[in-house]
Chains A and B, each alone.
Chain A
Amino acid sequence: MNSDNKHNMSRRHFLKVAGGTAVASSVVLAACNNNDSGNAAIAPEDVPKDKMTYRTNPNTGDRVSLLGYGMMRLPLEGGDQADPNAAIDQELVNKEIDFAIEHGVNYFDTSPAYCQGRSEKATGIALHRHPRNKYYIATKLSNFDPSTRSLEESQKMFYNSLKELQVDYIDYMLLHAVGGGEDAIEEFNNRFMDNGLLDWLVEQKEAGKIRNLGFSYHGDIAIFDNLLAWHDEGDYHWDFVQIELNYVDWKHAKEINEDNTNAEYLYDELKKRDIPAIIMEPLLGGRLANMPNDIVADMKRRDPNSSIASWAFRYAGTPEGVLTVLSGMTWMDHLMENIKTYSPLKPISPEEDAFLSKIADKIVALHDIPCNDCKYCMPCPYGINIPAIFVHYNKCLKEGNLVRDEKDSNYKRARKAFLVGYDYSVPRLRQANHCIGCRKCVSHCPQEIDIPKELEKIDQFVEQLKQSDPKD
């Protein structure tokens, strides 16, 4: 992608010289295969400071920026984002948060689990440098591990969040990833009900330590329906709910995985009750920004000036019941472009909606592995780098390097690209053939991927490639 960036920059520079900045900033060049976001032909001065679209929270009247900053993919020092030992690049985080706030972003979403447990601290350090009334903080009760599920341990987790974030109240508190586990109801009861944690959180809200209480949801629909039923019956009041919404999940989530629920249903249920929706995975973990050339071509034909990612952001921000759309932005480029997309939001028209629906059909037909690289499955106790394997597989799929037929004229080149890239992206001892199938990861995956099964399929594919060595 660097080469693309350079290309864009130099062209942009050229245009600046030739025709002035106005032309340059509106012209978007070649599609970028950036992981998360669109194109790099954007400079800080191109990003508007006072045009951000805001939505109002009906409960508290908060004016929340449509772009929410997800703090789960923070930049690491040393340039290697895959290095688990690298420290968070605090200087860059500070710079990004300053830029975000300056340009109207005011919602910051973190969790005690993100970035190997280092996200809250980094977020706290960066935000503490700004007045407390300039931003809203969202964090979560991430008591997944059985050892953190007692009331006492969970309370400790909450107090620790306050400490790490250097605040004395949380604006948006979420029960993290409700709907997971082998038996979602049992898991929910275990985490929040049997220990009295939810009641305690309600008390905290009454005491002003929490301003809005909600939950983030993945997985089993029964628990979603159940929690909304409580809301209807007045047992518990949900100030907001965080759901996965994008133009693929709107109608296809169930198609991709039987256990998932279409975003259309989730959103409509919230809208009926006037519960604000917070959107996660607007880009499906970057997959909606990184697509095969033919799909990119379709989108560029429709609008050569819009980045691939901006379509997804506009889509997620269009429904009126959406309070904010979270994006886990690692680099300044992502941040600048996303702010621009929402300054102000240009809602998706019915024609565009129909167009994206067709694009979604094509994406579903790709049959890639629906991994969003969220790393919830990690660390694998046996050292497998699960998301890196899936990311590599999907990348090869999209680049046309997944050729199974030895007679294919492209076979030799594709084989090499897959195998060499595989060794490059994943150390041998962390590759799929070392998965022992213990299935400990399965319950952690919010996308409900049968990880060991997919790894075994990839392992078999790799074996097939290795054993069919086409001699020169």
Chain B
Amino acid sequence: MTVAAPPRVARAEGGLPARRAMVRWAWRMLRREWRSQLLVTLLLLVAVAVAVCGGTALYHAPPPADPTLGTARDVWVLNGQDPPAMAADIAALRRAYGTVDLIGHTPQRAPGLARPVDYRAQPLGGTHTRHLLAVHRGRYPTGATEAAVTTGTAGLLGVRLGGSIALDGHPRRIVGIAENPSDLTDDFVLVAPAGGPPPRSMSVFADRHGREDPRLVTVSQRLGQGDNTDQVVITALVLAATTVLLLLVAFVAAAGFAVLARRRLRQLGMLAAIGATARQVRLVVTATGLLVGTVAAGAGTTLGLLLWPLAAGRLEPTIGHRIDRFDIPWHLIAAVVVLAMAMAAAAAWWPARAVSRLPVTLALSGRPPEPRSTHRPAALAVFGLAVGLGCLAASDRRNPILIVVGTVATALAILFAGPPAIRLLAAAGARTPVAARLALRDLARHPARSGAAVAAISLALGIPVAAVVVATAAQTTAATGNLSDRQVLVRLSQPGDPAALVPISSATRLRELAGRVGEMAAALPAPTVLPLDMAYDPAAPPELSATTGQPVRHAEELGSARGDGEFAVSPAYLASPELLRLAGADPAAIGRSVDVVTGRAQSLVMFAPSRSRDIEHPPTTRIPGPRYTSLPDTLLTAGGVSRHHLVAVRAGWLIQSGQQLTGPQLATARRIAAQAGLTIESRDSQAVVRTVRASATAGGLVLALAVLAMAVGLIRSEGAADLRTLTATGADAGIRRTLTAATAGGLALLGVVLGTLGAGLGLAAAYRNDLAVFGHVPAIYPLIFLVGVPSAATAAGWLLAGREPATIARRMPP
């Protein structure tokens, strides 16, 4: 007979084999009992799918390259009037910087069109210009007898593929439909570089890498761009939003995993009795979370990527540039996937810890730990709500950190309010008929399970409620946007050109244009027309438009430093009393020595005459700035103009109507502007608000009802034993129907009340100065949410619950 076993190397944990065994068991159990995890998995899946699809869409919101500059850091626009000199300059640039890309521009007058048509000599591809040209039908033109046009040009000129175009006197067959993928509104005629008319101007794309320019003689314009950080910012924003979303889902998931851990209490106790350490027991539950997270992340990513091409198709017309559907931000998606898995594992960790700390004998007997008092979640809910509302109220809809903290705290308050609310509902339903009472009491008896369902439904409804109100607020706030709904901004500059590039026009043409603007205004009630002037340095030579090659005056721009010797520039208009008033300034209060009046917060610099590298800090007065983003916010005073020896030039007009502009009025204005070769801007369409509102509502409803259906199915199938007992005591299908209907209706009611209440309170705090917003929400929305969802849930529960539940019951583990 042996004595005690010889001492072995003390290793409390079983190492990799033990961990593998635990994960294997967790996976088997998940496969056997996947139904119980369906709710959590689906919530996670939807969150991941939304994050992947939405994140990819946002990632593609900015064009892949600047519509004018491409991916080049530096662009020189060379004057083509002296071709040998231009060729020499190109050669010099090529020598200095290696690879350069060339695009030739030749503006050609077209009969019946005020604006010249750009004959663009551009090769396909190119180092810096590959995002600026694509032929999407037909082929690239070769030789001197072929051309391609954009869809817009084809429409303007009434030509089509296979037709012919001869604006420059040489007939060319149209062999393709081309486009600028970075700007779908860019209209031009594409010719082969060798076969086109001699270019009036040549854009040279290169990367200077900070070196000095070579000596150039034909440069009419130099453009440049710094690093594009849009995508970094968007990635960060998407990840932050995903974290918030997943955090909320994780709280629901934690409740789901707590139910799971409780249901497996005896099994986990058995595991501990066999000799698993607390860490190994924790691993089983955490692994379940991780596996759920992995499955949900994988399926969610797949779903998101499947939805992405559909979303991209709808997105392109809105954002005005092509989207490469295969250009998927994998790093972003990988981050979302990792985040989802980590959140799921973290959500499982808490119940895992609780169950691993339970005495083994209690776990073995299947006796759950003492039920937690409902005061704690209630207190947490009140606390979260207080913090959330406080933050939202303090944020004043501006401070992003306070908004995020407030939103998360309010959402958490909704989650914590679930269990106490269920208890209240059960207490309130104490006098209902037995079936309804039983259903409600069942909900209260398993607060973790029903709490998770209520939380999920509340979130699914709270988010669209918030979206509806925010979208309505965005619509009804007349005080924001690009322009008011009574204003039309008319510009001389070409679309695609900066506002400061003002085409050189004869006095006759200017009079003609003013007449056309008057024509537009005449159609409006009580119109006013404000001329908008800019100023240019007469010592500087005229420049050529980078998009059309037309001669332009480069009006004075004011720069704000972006560091590294670079400046972001904005156009400066000449101050007039009307413009000063529009910008929120008192014309009488502007001192005589002041050169610049601005609503911008940054310190502005002026570029010294003749565009040398010297900069000046002009005397500046700060004003509140205009309410609308497209109105002039930086003005040059008359004193500033004379002190800098500038010359005024007409840049456009601002037309204001006495009443809100109607659709036909705007259409007339657009038609006149197109004929006159003017660019006009009106208040951005608000149709998107209605779309957002309707789609948020529809999405939220579908999600909430899906969550509800799963939760009810789960709860009722787990209560199948009760149902059999009821059936044995004589309950008929009516009782079964009432039971399911009461469960569904109760959950839906709680979810709706909590979701709407939470979102409503949060919004009320955020919009505390503007509570009238709530009055503008169409009445159908509160009706749908508050009445429609519970009614639909109850009715569906009643209709679908007729059949015998035996099959479901058998599938559930004992």
Partners in one complex: no
The residues of A with any CB-CB pair to B shorter than 8 Å are none
The residues of B with any CB-CB pair to A shorter than 8 Å are none
